[in-house]
Structure formats: structure tokens, C-alpha cells
Structure 1
């Protein structure tokens, strides 16, 4: 333990010493700079050589080699080689760091590929049939559908079933400020603007030989639309502030939940770009139009989140299933996933009941007129609850919410 601690101290000392220049020592035990360090003495370090790893002129680490047997092992030739290699290593580390930031930065988060893709609905079966047919082509795909229907999942599925060797990159255009979108998508040259301290490749370059998915594509500026059109028509683009024309090979998938024709009529979206991205259109139906998928999806999310939370949950009670099927799901699959995740967290037993639904789904599915009609035709509140397939306590909540006088209806 003492040796490890001393070695760690020595490494930080080396890093401090080589912030501005590399170090080479023919015999560390005799070298005034190192001979008094405990790690040198304990490990009997003889020859050593080290060079800093720098990013933006700031040290982030070092490449360090030593020998505990031979003195004079390293020469000036070795030092020159190390000086030549460390910038390449620094560049790889920086790219790796940027890739991690890119992956987890919210506008570019990838859709979870494990999401449910099997389907019991005829509508979705037709869509996945279209995915199978279009995946092998390089053709641009345009996805339309409400928020939360799974456009990102379909886009990723198209990429995974394609023959493209590059990455799948998802960009939420609406989450990026207009001032940043161009530089993020196309990259920039050092000095292009105040904070451009180095050249930076854009997402178009990162997606070379792969697929880039632009969600909420109608949110991008008209200037960025013109550059995107050039990419589609010529496979070429320029980084912001650069004169060099670069080539790229990407597969573009776009999506929106807006009425894109209205955006075109208002001048917010270019008609010629729309014709290019709308080569192959897939309309994804909302969850309420494919109710046969609700329970399989709910069970998928239940299994996934129960496993994540370390809970053993068998499934949903029939009462909970009835409520899930009756709810219109305006937020579609995303809303369903969030509801089930919260229910799993709140669950105390082996079954999910309506009481675990944080959002009172039943109160959002029964109108005042519907409730009054059922109460009129029922002899008791219990009978009304049976007819509506909800607990009696929910009937009382609805009566209070709608300010209904049940004795005079």
C-alpha cells in the first residue's frame, strides 16, 4: 500500500514537472530531480522517460515509461518519438471525451434500442413491413406522427436493418438553439466565432457512412435548411467559417409532429427541401388507434423497470388493465412508459393496481355526462362502479370533481 501511494504521488509530481516539457533520466536514483522521492527508492527506478498529454495547451495526463533494471535505456531518439506520439494520443482522448458528451447530451440522446418492436396491431405490422423494404436503400425517409409514438425507435430500426457501417446519430432539432444548430450539425473552423478555439467536426461528419436522424426537423433555421439541401443533393458541405468543401455519405431520416404543409405555406420550411426529405413517408399511428398494443407495451415496460428497481412484480390487476385500455394516451408510448415506471417505483406488492398510477387515469377517461348517465341507470354507486369498471372510491372522486348531486340526478 505504501508503494502504491508513493507511486501515485510520484506520478502527480511527474505530471507537474512535465507540464511544459518532456522528461528523460538515465538514472533516476542518481538524478537530483528524482532520487529523493520515495517511489523511486522503493521501486528502484533507474531509467525513465515521460511526456505530457495536452488539450488546448492544458495538461490532462502523461505517457510514462521506466526501467527498474537498466540505466541509460532511453535515448534522445526515444524522446523524439514520444514527443511525436503524445499529440495523437491527446487527440484520441479528446475525441473520446467529446463522444461521451455527445452521447449523453440531451439533444442527441439515442432512443433505447431495446424498446418493444413486436406488435399485435395490423397498423404497426404494415409499418414494420415498410421498414424492412426501405432499410436496404439509401433513400431519405420522412416519419410523421404525434409526440411519443416512437418515431425515434422506427428511425433506429431502419438504421439497424440497413447495411450502413457508420453510426446512428439522433438530433432533437427543437432542443438546440437556432444560433448553435448550424455549428453543431456542420461543425466549425477554429476562429469562426469567439469560442471556436479549435476545429470541430459536426454531426454530419460523425454520421459519415451511417445514419443521422433529425427529429422535429421543422425547427431548423432557413439558413441551415439551405446547407442541408446541399448535403442531400451533392453530398458536400462546409464547416462554419471554413472554405474547404467536404464530402459525406449519410442516410438521412427526418421526423416531425407538425403539419409540415402549414410550415411550408407560412415560409418557415423550404418546399424544395421538403420534396427531398419526403421521398419515402411513413406515418406512425397514435397509441389510441392501436389499443391491442397497449397491454403488451405496458407489460414490456413493467418487466424492464421492475428489473431495474430490483422488484418482483407479476403484472397488472384486471382493474388496472381496464383503466390502461380505456385511457386515450395523448402522450402515446412515452406517456405509457412514464406511467408504468412510476407505478413500479410506488408498487409494494406483486401486482400493479390503479392506486399505483400517479396520474388518475380513470378520471381522465370518463366525462361528466357519461358518469351522470351511468349513475341514473344504476341503483347504487357500487353498480355504477361495476359498469364503468373502476373502484367505488374513484366514483366518489369523480362525483366530487364534477360537483354532481347524486341524490338529484
Structure 2
């Protein structure tokens, strides 16, 4: 006699689906646990420093930390045209001496010097002459030490710098400032630096992107249409530059492009030019060096798409009467738009952050935003302005991604 199962078939199906989902959850948890060390490393070494730099564009705690009592009282000061109360003068005098003893005055003086050149000298001069032997109260003694303490503008700037959150760095990065009346206004023409630097950076990055597309598209097409053996051999020449240091490649161009270098020697020797051409310390050298470094990215992005395009489409267009050039432009090129968009996006974004090549091959009129950021961080120690410039650069990169994604759909890149 056959035995019949007492468990309904529907229950067995439910049990198996529940077990399958539990197994999938265990696999997902195991994969996540394996990735936790990498996530921690990325958060500690990459995400946290970048977020801290970006946050420094709106935070300014040097003055409030060094002069806490004066900063607290200045919040209640209504501002011009009247000077602060005598209590503010007394708090400032006491805070200056305390900050000098604790070693925090130098950072505050450097921060205030960003507002008004000479503010550091004012603070150091004042703290050296305190406490004064004149016996005068601080409200009278500080203006005696330096007349600027009797000017409302000095206290207005001190109040702005004492605020822990400030828009000043973001405004400075676009050549703007807050005037005495509290309105945002452009800075003087002689102080306009950053807008022109952004425009110059975008122009150089756009020029490099266009050159890489013009030079890289035919190479990618050649690699995609050649037999596999020949294509793999030529691909080695595209990949080899990745094995060489960026500094070494840029220095090599430094040797090649100098007035007595290889390039000028060939041009003069062949009679093309009568005297050496200026190929260094100008925009030409920057474009040549950056194009050479970034060209492989354009080639590889287009090659990844081109190798997946069947050649039968072009042959079909030609068999229907289209000229080969027309078939190439109207049938083949539209299919490569994801590769063109990806390559242009990669090259443009990488060019935005270039520092070494413009510094070595460019001139005074080729300074890019990345060089200004490095200058503010390493020499000026103005991390707030460096963070503000980084914020705008990151925001523009995001805008570029959205535009490229809308136009050519770079997120739908075909890899096979």
C-alpha cells in the first residue's frame, strides 16, 4: 500500500521559499561582513577627509575658540555706527592675553588676516602692549595702543570672524564679499581671482577633452575593427602609460618641449620653423601634457562600446546604397554615443583636478583651481577657502555628470 504524505503541497512550497529567502539573507550578510573592512577604510581614509574639507567652507571656529568671551559679547552688539560697550573691550583684552598664553592666538590672527590684511599685526601689537601700565580702562587703552580699535569697521570684521558659521569662504571663492551694510557685493577688480580661475580651468579641461576625442576616437575604432591578435598587441601601447608615474610622464614632456628639446630640434632641423617655438610655460604645453596623460581614458571608454557593435549594420547600410562615409556617420557613430559621453566625462572631470602638469608646463596665466586649492592648504593655511573652492568644483562636477547622463546616457554604457 502506498504511503501518502500528510503535509500539504502548498506548505512544502511555502517552507522551501522561506528557506530560500533565509539562505539569500545569510549570503547577503556574509558578503556585507566581508566588505565591512573596505568600507571602514574608505570612510576613514577617503570620505571623512573630504567631508571635513567641505565642511570647513562654512565653519570658522578659530576666533571664537581663541576669544570666547569677546565673541559671546559681540553677538549682542547691534553693529555700526556705535562702538561696542566697554565690557567688550575688557573681554577682548583678557581674551588676548589668555589666548597668547595658550597658543591659540596665532590661528585666530591668521583667520582675521583673511578679512583684512594687517589684522594679524594689529593683534600681535596689542597683546605685546597688554597689560598696559597707563592705568586706563581697556575701552580707552586699546585705541591708544592702535587707533584701529577705535574704528567701527575693525569691530565689525571681528564680529563676523567670531561667528562659528560663516558664508565668507563661499563668497570669497566667487569673488564676492559682505559689505558694511550686510549686502553681498563684488570685490574690487584688482582682487578678482577665483572666477577667472574657474573659467580658465573649464576652458583648459574642455580643450583637453576635445583633443582627446579627436585623437582617441580613430584609435579606438582601429582597435575595435582589427583582428583580435593585432588589436591586443596595439592595446599594450595604450595601457603602458598607466604603468608610468604621472610625474615622470610630465617631466618627460618638460624635456621634449623646451627650446633646445627634441621637438624644437626636429622642427628647426626640418626647416618647418626658423627658430624654436615656445611650447612650454604656456597653454600649449599644458594642453599637450594633459592630452597625453588623459588620452588612454578616452580610447578605452570608446573601445568598450565599439567592440560590442556588430559590423553588419554598416554593411547593411552600404548594401542599401549609402556611401561608406554616410553609413559611418549615420549608423555607426550614433551607436558609439555612450562611449563618447563616458570618455568625455572621464577626461573632463579628471582634467578639472589636475595639478602637476599645469604647474610644470604652464605659465602664470594657466593656473587652475586645483593649484589654488593646494596653495591655500599648504602655504596660506586657509582651509576654509580651500574647502569653498572644493565645494564649487564638486558641485560643478555633479552638474556635468547630470548633463552628460541626460544627453548620452553614460550610465547605460554597454560593456559587451
- What is the TM-score normalised by the length of structure 1? 0.21
Higher helix share: 2
- What is the TM-score normalised by the length of structure 2? 0.21
Higher strand share: 1
